[in-house]
Structure 1
């Protein structure tokens, strides 16, 4: 099979206008042992007949692809819980590897997770416990499970556990369960913190989060033990905070500058440096409060770049704070607003796109629902930069003649954008199917006639 035919087939598999009859034909395709294209397996809203075809496939690769679909309903994926292949069951247990961060992937039903946790194959059990998609109530229910690995997962979600389940985990026969449980409990018990400080594997985290005896804090300062972690500790005495604020280590001073109790005058008096690429992920009190209006207001109105960036990760920013952050001249903050906030201003999205064209962040900005559309053809169709000419395709007023011209643009990504636009004249769309760089976009074009889709399948060797 010629390479660009395979590319066209992948595009057709993704085409939102693909008729069910052709979809079923495609899903039954073996593809030389590789199974049907991934886009066919992971379409959103697959009809029941399509799911039945996938489940009946003897090649486990197809079932694995479906098991990891972010577009499938959990109840559809759950039908693989008794699959004969442990690799399929493990893929189901872990779930989708990637999905648009602006969307939510629903977890599998609790009863299905429970069955996978009791799977006879250890890889399936491990995949489930490693999955980021487990529902919090299910994770909490693992506190009394017979498998110590499950109890460890529960202990990592310490604050969601029932108080009556915690003592048993602290006294668990498995030492790692006890250690993880102690890291949760140390926030409220200085004796537990002191015990963890004797464990080299736990010292840094215990210093970061645990309730500290003053003597232990003074000793760590004197011995310069994990000072950047210690500088985050909520219970660190104020005088020791002041000492660390002047520490010769810049990472220590930066950690102090992010403490929640500091007022703005004290915070800005600390000599710290923030990296251009630091997203503020590590500011735990803001990260844990992304839905808390008070936390968001304190962080967003701060002069500290990392606090503002941490707040920009919240989709719950009220309009006044969103406007405030949108006026800050900080490229990383703009990227975070573009990724996380549903009402990110158009001008912010345009700046991200202009600055980072070709990157994931630019793609997130360009596909944001608020990215501008009207007027782009008039402004950018003849721009000297092909990255901007591509924007003209987004304009509802762009004519078929302009779309065809852009499908022949010197810049390949501009040509690809035009090849996927339903306004592209049919004769040019047919041509694009035979151009290697455009075949995928043309195959995915929703204006591609059903007969042309069928021809792509036939030329790729998909049986009728």
Structure 2
């Protein structure tokens, strides 16, 4: 892979004649890069598709090729891409429905708006992968018909399809009114029944994770049930009955389901599996009684998930963050706090609470400025990127807390070029700050040159509009090939240099 050429292919300033030259030397990877160019002409697109068959699919998917440009026999991938966009003729769909290549039939099965006769052909396909792909996006009528398919993967696809009629989903979940599964992926891999390792007598067997098949199709049945439990179209009454199922993955699916009776959630709140309780904690359908139970849960993940629930009462949230490590994140309940609640949170005696409110970027000026002078560095770091902070306040933050807040200050949209330059000269280097400076629109040439010394900042700095031309030229010979690619993609790269890069291939 020539990183310089890949950079040129993405360079928006690459002249049309050099685009033509790149097309002539492109390999499949480079062709994909060229296919993404916004200025690619139709002639260039057809030339590229002629040279690199794989790019034809990419170009068709992005609307650069039409049906008139594509022969489905010589360019099947491009033709299928157009069918996937709903812009290929019905004759193509009929052609691919009988294609001996199963992967093409499978791709076709996922296309929208297929003619009825094509759908019927695909529904009767001997390969279950084709039928399953059809079932994922099938109409209610077709999905209902495929619910009795003998293969488990087809039924699982029907169970995941939100267009499947609720009565059919309930039947798949309960296993009633539907013939038993006759085929499943596990049995197709192993002709003989097996027991998962380490008891498996055949060490080279490779069943799907967690799968087993003793003739009862239990794993396959659970896969169908799990898909139905996650499907919002499955009736709540059918889902509720699985709250006490012995399978933890199935109970977790119930715990995440919205709109169930309160008694179901109350039962799950005391489930022995922490994963079930954690999934329940994030569910916005749980009531205050369940929230109180989960707030006292000893499982760290349970309380952390509850903190991310948009319905958690503010007093409960404050209690949780006071004893649970949440991290520097934005919580849904904090994001919708009222003006009065924002004031209360900003005055909290707990730094962790003040830190969470400081991450909001719509704070009133007086609260923002007060948090900017907070004695806790974590709070100041959280508010440092808030727009509207004066340069004097930003400098005061750095003077008081040093390197601990520099990355936040460097990320502030109002940080001046002079301030960014000063931050870039800090010794020892504030590496997180350098990475923010490298992408800041106010970064000066001097600040960007300092960023080039940091391994993670230099790629970003190499693409910054303010990077000096001389530095850009030097980066084209850098040891780090990702830096070379970023420099070659720079819009300010002179056309003569671009031509030289092409000439050396």
Would you call these one fold, judging by a TM-score over 0.5?
Answer: yes
**For residues 306 and 108 of structure 1, what CA distance do their matches in structure 2 show?**
42
**For residues 458 and 76 of structure 2, what CA distance do their matches in structure 1 show?**
41
1:181/1:414 Cα in 2 relative to 1: closer, same or farther (>3 Å)? Answer: closer
CA drift at 1:427: 1.0
**For residues 64 and 91 of structure 1, what CA distance do their matches in structure 2 show?**
8
Identify the residue that residue 53 of structure 2 maps to in structure 1.
63
Identify the residue that residue 415 of structure 2 maps to in structure 1.
375
Q: How does 1:57-456 map onto structure 2 within 5 Å?
A: 57=51, 62-68=52-58, 73-74=62-63, 76=65, 81-82=70-71, 85=74, 88-90=75-77, 93=80, 107-112=84-89, 115=92, 118-119=95-96, 120-123=99-102, 125-129=104-108, 134-135=111-112, 137-138=113-114, 143-145=119-121, 148-149=124-125, 152-158=132-138, 161-163=139-141, 165=142, 169=146, 186-189=168-171, 193-197=176-180, 199=182, 200-201=216-217, 202-208=220-226, 234-235=236-237, 241=243, 243-244=244-245, 251=249, 254-260=252-258, 261-263=260-262, 267-274=268-275, 298=285, 303=291, 330=326, 347=359, 373-375=413-415, 378=419, 381-382=424-425, 384-407=429-452, 409=453, 411-437=454-480, 438-456=483-501
**For residues 41 and 114 of structure 1, what CA distance do their matches in structure 2 show?**
27
1:51/1:37 Cα in 2 relative to 1: closer, same or farther (>3 Å)? Answer: closer
1:127/1:450 Cα in 2 relative to 1: closer, same or farther (>3 Å)? Answer: farther
Identify the residue that residue 8 of structure 1 maps to in structure 2.
4
Contact 1:374 1:395 (8 Å CA) reproduced: no
CA drift at 1:444: 0.5
Q: Unmatched 5+ residue regions in structure 2? A: 183-215, 295-300, 333-356, 362-377, 382-410
- Aligned residue pair count: 358
**For residues 306 and 95 of structure 2, what CA distance do their matches in structure 1 show?**
39
Q: Deviations over 1:396-455 (max 9, x none)?
A: 211112112322x1x322111111112111111111111131211110111111121111
1:21/1:210 Cα in 2 relative to 1: closer, same or farther (>3 Å)? Answer: closer
Q: How does 1:1-40 map onto structure 2 within 5 Å?
A: 6-29=2-25, 36-40=30-34
**For residues 54 and 310 of structure 1, what CA distance do their matches in structure 2 show?**
52
Identify the residue that residue 193 of structure 2 maps to in structure 1.
none
Contact 1:346 1:372 (8 Å CA) reproduced: no
SS of 1:28's partner is helix
Identify the residue that residue 194 of structure 2 maps to in structure 1.
none
SS of 2:442's partner is coil
**For residues 35 and 210 of structure 1, what CA distance do their matches in structure 2 show?**
39
Contact 2:12 2:489 (8 Å CA) reproduced: yes
SS of 2:176's partner is helix
Identify the residue that residue 99 of structure 1 maps to in structure 2.
none
Contact 1:309 1:333 (8 Å CA) reproduced: no
Q: Unmatched 5+ residue regions in structure 1? A: 96-105, 212-227, 287-295, 337-344, 355-370
CA drift at 1:274: 3.3
CA drift at 1:204: 1.9
SS of 2:446's partner is helix
**For residues 194 and 204 of structure 1, what CA distance do their matches in structure 2 show?**
17
Contact 1:19 1:450 (8 Å CA) reproduced: yes
Contact 1:94 1:127 (8 Å CA) reproduced: no
The one of the two structures with greater contact order (alpha-carbon pairs below 8 A, sep at least 6) is: 1
CA drift at 1:210: 6.9
**For residues 348 and 234 of structure 1, what CA distance do their matches in structure 2 show?**
36
Please report the TM-score for the alignment, with normalisation by the length of structure 2. 0.54
Please report the TM-score for the alignment, with normalisation by the length of structure 1. 0.58
Q: Which moved more, 1:327-336 or 1:428-437?
A: 327-336
SS of 1:412's partner is coil
SS of 2:438's partner is helix
**For residues 385 and 17 of structure 1, what CA distance do their matches in structure 2 show?**
33
Contact 1:392 1:398 (8 Å CA) reproduced: yes
**For residues 106 and 307 of structure 2, what CA distance do their matches in structure 1 show?**
32
**For residues 404 and 178 of structure 1, what CA distance do their matches in structure 2 show?**
57
Is 1:41 equivalent to 2:35 in the alignment?
A: yes
